[in-house]
Amino acid sequence: MILSDGEIKKLLLSGDLVCRPLTDESIQPASIDCRLGDHFLVVDDAHMESISLGEEIKYREIKTKSITIPPHSFLLGTTMEYIELPENLIAFVEGRSSIGRMGLFIQNAGWVDPGFKGKITLELYNANSLPIKLEAGRRICQFVFGRMGFRAEVPYGAPGKKSKYQGQMNTVGSRVFKDVETDSKE
């Protein structure tokens, strides 16, 4: 079930859901609008031949109040907002329609697990033929919250669970190289 504005406000007031900093204008009928932070990562292609799932990716870090994404280019950014999800809520991170209509695709793998705490790293892709200039502090995406039927037995960040992105406060690059793959022996 997707949460309404009234349910979101109640959870924020009780402290069961944390999203800060937050303004009254941020709360929409079924979501919270989130703003772009000022920390970005760009793949350092000058020092890499290719990207591999098994090796750490090198990034250039950029801290700025505005950034321009060239046509058909990709970079990572972060939300200004820090969130903490309880063990029975998930969040979907969706780009705002007005931003998508400019040709900017926003993704974060689309999903935030129950128990997550931190800022959200956003994958930003300019699908347009023109550069797109972005400014920190502008509303760029939204959190849509869903209630699970039961609390997660092992939420994200639980002791003993590998949680590669728990507590992130800046843009964080891919940590897929830390994955432990399972071998199926049939």
The annotation places the binding site for dCTP at: 96-101, 113, 121-123, 142, 156, 164, 168
List the catalytic residue out of 84, 87, 94, 123.
Answer: 123
In terms of Cα–Cα distance, which of 87, 94, 93, 92 is closest to 148? 87
Torsion of CA 145, 138, 95, 118, to 10 degrees: -50
Query: Buried b / exposed e across 145-171, counting CB within 10 Å, b at 16+?
Result: beeeeeebeebbbeeeeebebeebebb
Are 125 and 70 in contact by the 8 Å Cβ rule? The answer is no
Best CA proximity match to 114, nearest among 39, 25, 22, 11: 11
Active site residue 153: no
Is residue 156 within 8 A of residue 114, CB to CB? The reply is yes
Q: In whole angstroms, give the CA distance from residue 30 to residue 86.
A: 18
Catalytic residue list: 123
